[in-house]
Amino acid sequence: MQYFERHEGGENAILVHLDIHQISNPDDLEEFRLLVHSAGANEIETITGTRNKPHAKYFVGTGKAEEIADAVKCFRESNQTDDIVVIFNHTLTPSQERNLEALVKCRVLDRTGLILDIFAQRARTYEGKLQVELAQLNHLATRLVRGWTHLERQKGGIGLRGPGETQLETDRRLLQIRVTQLKAKLDKVKQTRAQGRAKRQKSEIPTISLVGYTNAGKSTLFNHLTDDNIYAADQLFATLDPTLRKVAWSGVGNVVLADTVGFVRHLPHELVESFHATLEETLEADLLLHVVDAASEDMHAQIAAVNDVLAQIKADAPILLVFNKIDKSGETPALYYQEPHKPHRVYISAQQNLGIDKLITAVQELLSGTVNHYTLTLPHHAGALHNTLHNLGVISHHSYDEQGRQVLDVQLSANKIKQLLGQYGLSATAVLPAEQAASLQPVLEPFEQISSDMPKITPPEELDPFCQ
């Protein structure tokens, strides 16, 4: 009787990357190494190769598979340890994993399994753990047969008749029951999130969601904007669990800022499905801040990868491109417009606190409209409006006229001031100068002046294909 039980994993990793023509990206290998490092593995050797198409049995071909097996054997003999795992930068079929493990005599992990392992390490909240377990079980569902090959057939002879596929079927049934339970629990989480969103929408509190490629600096920017201290590190998937904070944004009022999990190229479909409850914060957001690593040589491909995931979940909120890490890319803080009064991208450094004022201005314009200067003369009974304007942080000067009325210089959008005057039952002609009351139109310097002197590193013609 020949058994096939799955090998244990290890912290020492042999990396395998195959260059498949018309599929691979030149930067995939470097990102793969970062993923392995993020998982906490120790890279001992990297084996690369080139093929026109994957090999049906081993993915890498028989010769390269033997090379991997020799590398594992050499490490095992020289270090006297079985603490080793082979990690592929590709998605392997269950049969390919099984064939490779039988050949190399150690645990074999594909790209999906590696990302799931990282997610399992980083999940901290109840929801995050549920989502990771669901993704793991969905991935495992097609791989149960690997551990029960000795039960696949009935054996002849007295005392040799096994239970056939009973154990395998039992495992599949138990797995399906657990998946159903997890989905039910995630549905409850989804309902709770929906209730929270309904309350925010009822109170007209807008939601701003930070999205972007992993390690683009979303959590660092989130900490800076919210004065929080969530975990942020220079590694892939440093943050997994979504974090929401209510902050007072100058000129806009209270907003909910959401930090979400980062994306990567070739993000497994089961992860997108399992994390749909988390991604709904992105789906329901009023504004998306697409944080981009401006210092990355692979910036445009990363933008395209994020746009691909946003298209998968059908996110249609307005998007502001936030090019972060300009302290490393050599660019200067700047705000640029796709068309008059519509900010398109902003250049900042969350780490060095550069350009944050321009980011806030862009958010004000996208959520409330173009910000303008108004002079309000408030009647004596308008104390509530004064308190609201004070909480918004939009009062630049405060004085009194001869009749003892408050005279406020404020920076607000036309839409916002109309909303506030209507909310407190005040007439524009009663509190504003005649010309401001008549027009209430935003006044900006000419668009050509604003958008001149474009950055040389990322000209708009290079960005347009990715920034629709």
| Binding-site positions for GTP | 212-219, 237-241, 259-262, 324-327, 349-351
Bridge partners of 77, per DSSP, are none
Rounded CA gap, 192 and 190, in Å? 5
- The H or E element that residue 211 is part of is strand 207-212
Class of residue 339 by CB neighbours under 10 A (exposed 0-12, middle 13-18, buried 19+): exposed
Beta strand spans in 353-460 (E): 371-378, 395-400, 406-413
Neighbours of 206 (CB within 10 A): 20
Enumerate the known binding-site residues.
212-219, 237-241, 259-262, 324-327, 349-351
CB-CB contact of 132 with 119 (8 Å) = yes
Q: Which of 238, 273, 274 is nearest to 259 (CA)?
A: 238
Rounded CA gap, 360 and 362, in Å? 5
Q: Could you tell me the two tokens for 251?
A: 């000129």
Enumerate the known binding-site residues for Mg(2+).
219, 239
Assign 48 to helix, strand or coil.
strand
H helix and E strand count, the chain? 18, 14
Q: Could you tell me the two tokens for 22?
A: 């018309």
DSSP alpha helix (H) spans, 163-262: 166-202, 218-226
Rounded CA gap, 342 and 354, in Å? 21
